[in-house]
Structure 1
Amino acid sequence: MPTARDTVLLFTHSGDYFTVDRVAQEVSRRGLRPLRIDTDGFPSEWELTSMLGPAHQDVVLHTQAGEVRSAEVRSVWLRRRVPPRLDETLEPAWRESCARESSAALVGALDGLTGAGCRFINPLGADEAAGNKLLQLRLARAHGLEIPRTLVTNDAERVRSWFDEVGGRMVAKMLTPLTQSMGGGQPFVYTTAIGPEHLDELEGLRHSPMVFQERIDKSHELRVAVVGEHCFVGAIDASRSVEGQVDWRRSRPDECAWSPGRLPEDVARRLVRLVAELGLVYGAADFIVTPDGRYVFLEVNPGGEWGMLERDLGLPIAAALADALASEGS
């Protein structure tokens, strides 16, 4: 008799609470067994075994909640994958080697779960490919979404010339995030306005290129959580925040709050098609809504935060993710 595939693995880290708890609750309501896996606890706190032979393969996870085999797993939510917490007394080179080996073993096990027919959100490897911001902008433009004029360079002279081309209205940001959690406690580089006084201070480009974009006038901003064909929209207006006018994440909690947002149907359709072409089931997209009503696409984050939209606005994002995890499709 075949084993029931009634387990949903929720891969995250030990500091993650609200979102993973909400998805676990919704998975349970669908008659399935959610199993939280804190990736920073491997290999010190739980065991992982991958087996592969001529006619057999299996992945076995042993946690405090018990043992689970790949044949029991219906789906996997790759909420977060973070480096392991290793013994600080280990010699540095050995510690680095242990971290690499642990990461490689985990990636191999995830591939084994894929081979066993487990559904992934997002599909294994899709987050890394979809994280290419220039690819996102190119595809967004191809799907008919408006995008800001963008320059990625380490050429300081070109930045100075481009500053004049955009009329002195320019922001700088990074291609890759240092952290994705809104309360992650890790280093974070915010989007920053660039003025004439900064144009003689670009020597740092010798060490790393940056993204420069034209600064778009804002009525407000949108965070759109896309799950399959569903868009859940929150709006935020940080115009009254001195620190948050360029990047709402710099605002104080008392300066702005989330409110229900709206995305026109044609923009929503284009966004859903973009997320699908990037190979994602879930993505968090950011838009600027201009004073004259244009919707300007900024980026889509494959692991972007959505907890504040569910917590503050009651948007059923966890339920939508649970529906996708409960489905039998690959």
Structure 2
Amino acid sequence: MLVVTSLHDPTADVVTSELHGRGVPVVRLDSGDFPASLSVEAEITGHGLQGLLITPSRTTDLSNVRSLYYRRPTGFGFPHLDEQDARFALAQARYGLGGVLASLPGCLYVNHPHRIGDAEFKPAGLTTAVDAGFLVPPTLITSSPDAAREFIKARGSVIYKPLSNPVYRVDGVSSAVKVAEVSAADIDDDVAGTAHLFQQRVPKVADVRVTVIGGDVFCVRIDSNLLDWRTDYSQLTYTPLEAPPGIRSALHRYMNRFKLVFGAFDFAVDEDGRWWFLECNPSGQWHWLETETGLPMTTALADLLERTS
């Protein structure tokens, strides 16, 4: 079993501990440690890909990796090189080591890094959600200030969401661009500087986080008075519940479209009890929900990795 993530990943800690308790051999590494403390020796022959991953404490036979839990490894870094050489080295690492990790024969990926990349594009996620049968709020992706203003005027209550959320530093402190309600008066010509996502606000009474792990579906209602519940976990209350008719099948259609075996879905629930799809994070957090509700998510994920489910 191979776990690829950063050093500080409490969720991976729990899964690794569970697998160790079952007597399953696990090697954990951060691909961002390459090449300083991680090396690769991979050969492609007439028999396929074979070789070794070597860390200071472990050696992994690539042909024996049955499952790979791909979480949130750090990025490659070459601070000792000048800008041009670092750019070249980074590309070689990504397509070399990254390509090897994405090509393990007979391996179950949770999830495959390429599939994670595909599913992280919000336009693809939203259009796939429509095809899967979910309700999706009207959404505009634009770099046009005029189009943004027109959309807001036509839709009334509209929120802005970043299309991706890389590290954003304010006075040297890591921050993030938050989901926020916007009016037409908020739109200025700076909108033309890049792409933006605007979405009609769902008049919600609650949120639901759905965690899909293989064939298991864990639904948790999240009650708060927050526009975005992730901004203050102290205000949240949690209630496990069952998905309404049609949601389960739509979840699996969505997962099959992206070839995912794990997904963390967010829904807004309106006054009529309808679930509106907001997004699916293919690397989303989930363990805190097990702590809050007792749902057996760690067991389900370990079963999936061990291929017992």
Tell me the TM-score normalised to structure 2 length: 0.90
Work out whether residues 222 and 261 of structure 1, in 8 Å CA contact, stay in contact via their aligned partners in 2: no
Does 2:207 match 1:221? yes
Alignment check: 8 A CA contact 1:50 1:112 kept: no
Distance in 1 between residues matched to 2:106 and 2:155, nearest whole Å: 50
Partner of 1:154: 143
Alignment match, 1:303: 283
Counterpart of 2:2, as a letter, is: L
1:242 equivalent in structure 2: none
For the residues of structure 1 that align with 2:271 and 2:47, how far apart are their CA atoms? 62
TM-score (ref. length: structure 1): 0.84
Sequence identity of aligned pairs in percent?
29
- Matched with 1:246 is 227
The equivalent position to 1:289 in structure 2, one of 261, 269, 285, is 269
**Of residues 27, 40, 49 in structure 2, which corresponds to 1:48?**
40
8 Å CA contact 2:267–2:275 kept in 1: the answer is yes
Matches within 5 A, 1:24-173: 24-55=16-47, 57-86=49-78, 88-113=79-104, 116-167=105-156, 169-173=157-161
Query: What is the Cα deviation at residue 315 of structure 1?
Result: 2.1
| Residue 322 of structure 1: aligned partner | 302
- Could you tell which deviates more after superposition, 28-37 or 69-78? 28-37
Contact 1:50-1:109 at 8 Å conserved across structures: yes
Deviations 1:77-125 (A, max 9, x none): 1112331244x44333333333222222222211341xx2222111342
Determine which of 197, 202, 206 is the counterpart of 2:192. 206
Give the Å deviation of 1:322: 1.5
Q: Deviations over 1:245-296 (max 9, x none)?
A: 2212222x43334443442242122212211222100011000011221111
Q: Across the two proteins, how many residue pairs are aligned to each other? A: 304
1:83–1:103: 8 Å Cα contact kept in structure 2?
no
Distance 1:143 1:108 in 2: 30
Distance in structure 2 (CA, Å) of the matches to 1:326 and 1:158? 50
Matching residue's letter, 2:93 = S
**Residues 220 and 236 of structure 1 are in contact (CA less than 8 Å); yes or no, is this contact kept in structure 2?**
yes
> Pairwise CA RMSD of aligned residues?
2.2
Q: Match of 2:6?
A: 13
Aligned-pair distance for 1:323? Answer: 1.3
Structure 1 distance, partners of 2:123, 2:47, is 43
Measure, in 1, the Cα distance between the counterparts of 2:263 and 2:3: 17
The one-letter amino acid paired with 1:288 is A
Q: For residues 145-181 of structure 1, give each alpha carbon's deviation from its aligned partner in whole angstroms, at most 9, with x where no partner exists.
A: 11101111111111111111112x00111222326xx
In structure 1, distance between residues paired with 2:136 and 2:194? 24
Q: Which moved more, 1:288-297 or 1:125-134?
A: 125-134
Q: Is the 8 A contact 2:39 2:53 kept in 1?
A: yes
Q: Give the structure, 1 or 2, with the largest relative contact order (CA under 8 Å, sep 6 or more).
A: 1
Which whole-Å CA distance do the structure 2 matches of 1:246 and 1:291 have between them?
15
Pick the aligned partner of 1:237 from 219, 223, 227. Answer: 223
Which residue does 1:4 correspond to in 2? none
Code of the residue aligned with 1:100 in structure 2: it is A
- Would you say the 8 A contact 1:288–1:295 is kept in 2? yes
Show structure 2 runs of 5+ residues with no match: 168-172
Q: Secondary structure at the match of 1:45?
A: coil
- Bigger drift between 43-52 and 104-113 goes to 104-113
2:165 corresponding residue in structure 1: 177
Contact 1:19 1:318 in 2 (8 A): no
Matches within 5 A, 1:237-276: 237-239=223-225, 245-251=226-232, 253-276=233-256
Helix, strand or coil for the counterpart of 2:163?
coil
What amino acid is the match of 1:36?
R
Q: Offset of 1:13 from its aligned partner?
A: 0.8
How far 1:328 sits from its partner (Å)? 7.9
